[in-house]
Structure 1
Amino acid sequence: YYFYRMIYRAKRLYLLYDTRTEGLQTGEMSRYIYQLKYHYQVPIQEKVVSYDITVKENQIIQIPKNEFVQKQLNRFLSGGDRALSASAINTYIDCPLKFYLGYVEKVSPEDEVAESIEASTFGSIYHGVMENIYQRMQGKLVTGDLLEKIQKDDTLLTNLIEAMFAKHYFQTSRIRPLTGQNYLTGEIIRKYVKQTLITDRKHTPFIYLHSEFPIDTTHTFDGTRQIRLKGSIDRIDEKDGITRIIDYKTGKGETTFKTMYDLFDPQKRDRPKAIMQVFMYAMIYSQINHPKSLCPGIYHLRDLFKIQFDWSIIHEIKTEKKRIEQTIYDFSPYIQEFTDTFNKCIQEIFNPEIPFKQTENTQICEYCDFATICKR
């Protein structure tokens, strides 16, 4: 009824249909066209319109290190106004083009309204709570009884969680009780904090040295040039003359590596980024403070509740006869090899002959902020 009412007074009528046969589409014309053509014998001119559509391959994007780019990179050198972090270096290893866009050109992704707490904000709140717990014990001996008391003090933990929500999520000085989804997230953070304290009790007694220890130093990477490095070590403590550097990680990751090159291999699946980061912190801290013995470690929060949870980093050595897992309690035997491999990575960043180009590992592009630029 509607069809014939619409065409009732038409002087010229165009009827189009899709001839493609994909999925549930049959590619046939409508029965109305058959009725007009055969039943009412309306004169119809038929025409098939087709276009040759070819999809061009995405062009390879690479940025040569011309004079302008070199000038921007020089800002990371000693005396410049920028510094490289472990996250920036990990980004370069994953994708040099992403490093160029994010850290050289300072291209920021579009701000999006988040209805729930993002992973980075979750981590900031957890870090803030742990920092506040241990800050009052800086330079003092931490005992198991003291940590147990804090672990059971839910009023204290609630106040700290609400304060960190106000700072990192609501971005206000006004502290208020959490409700709804935020309350549930806060309870998850509470469980992580308590489990961290239970884990720490096994390490007691120890002297707590620093929370969120700031790093801003220079590092010689090619004999003459120095690069500025920055960062923040989550926690540093000391026991029996051994200084321990701990990095908190809310995501998943590896605590085992086979060779030092694995930490910088862009083609390696599930590259142990966290180990590269904490090793970098250990290298810098050893240059600044010269501890007797330095032990790097990682707290992967997702693994805290495992019975056999271990914060240690393990070097997997493969021999002809067997495989040996060597726990790193002292970083000094590894520092030279790591420093050499680290310097090669930095030299590549500043090498004018090597352009910034896209990664070949497209899995990295899945959650990249710049995927639309690469059209991947």
Structure 2
Amino acid sequence: MSRLNFDTVVLGAGMVGVSVAVHLQKRGRQVALVDRKLPGNETSFGNAGLIQREGVYPYAFPRGLGTLLRYARNQSPDVRYHADALLRVAPFLWQYWRNSHPAKHAAIAKSYSTLIEHCVSEHRALAADADASALLRPIGWIKVFRTEAARDAENRLAERWQREYGVAFESLDPAALHQAEPDLATTLSGGLRYPASDSVSDPNALVTAYAKYFEALGGRFFIGDADSLRAGWEVDTQDGTITAPSAVVALGPWSDRVSSRLGYRLPLGVKRGYHMHYAAHAGARLHHPVLDVEVGYVLAPMARGIRLTTGAEIALRDAPRTPIQLEAVEPVARTLFPLGERLDEQAWMGARPCTADMLPIIGPAPRHRGLWFAFGHAHHGLTLGPITGRLIAEMMTGEETVVDARPFRVERF
């Protein structure tokens, strides 16, 4: 097998890995990007397409007794679990629950918000370079409410985010919501719009565009086996063995397969999710991504149709599909917006890579020279891909970093 020499090999061609590869290539590194599939065809393929500038607080584990009891019955549309997985994932969930204490969550947000602050600007800059700006919609997104209690609670939360981090929001009464989205149900109690966030009409196309830009810069993409990574660093691909003095692990929910083999015991878990595309019935139009807060699903206008995305499924990463959440929320979604026929043969399923403290792992592996980690972004892989790519590239090339990288380093575990 032939040997191919590069400065860096990036493992994983989702939004995070592609962004890392682009930023390194822009800084003069000769980069090989390796994945088992074409860019953007794993976790980055299926999501609500939100670039969440408002997402300064990462998604916490619920701590209210009533909510926990509701989830324990395993019939909630927004969170389901595999009973046979609970023993395996219990240590992760315990740490996740502890870190979700309000005081700890607030402290975590202080670090997390430094990444979120740059998410939209970094995406827009990269999209402009990649001639992909048309895929970004600078229109924000909307939460909708079925009850006044939920509306008022979310408005209080938005006011807090605005006070603490300057997050802009617009409270929509039923008339204003109807003006923004005329085809939504008229029984809603109002909405909440985050105007500073962007959305994406085709997440896979956006990752693909960034990957093509990477290749236009001189980078090379290879189909290969990330599990073959060997210290040195070497990895096997269809075109030969790649060798490089540095490697970046950006494999999303599969990152622990490499990190654990190298001796790193990290508190990682996955939240699985599903999506399905639908036609819009009778010429109805959806202008913004919309979260049905009290039920826990998103409807998002996509190039393929209206995408219905589910909440979280707590399961082992490679367990068989169980799209019962999709079946549960589809009838409810049809009461919110006039969905037509299904456009996909089966539901798509993916897994979000999560850390127990809700912060991604970004930085050097302390026991291996030349090894770097960039994973654990949970619900915000699409959101934080470009800023993560910039941060890793700055660290690897010795530049001053755009944000303080210390909170995201692996040594915290």
Q: TM-score under structure 1 normalisation?
A: 0.24
Greater strand percent: which structure? 2
Structure whose CA Rg is larger = 1
> Looking at both structures, which has the greater relative contact order when contacts are Cα pairs under 8 Å and sequence separation is at least 6?
2
Greater helix percent: which structure? 1
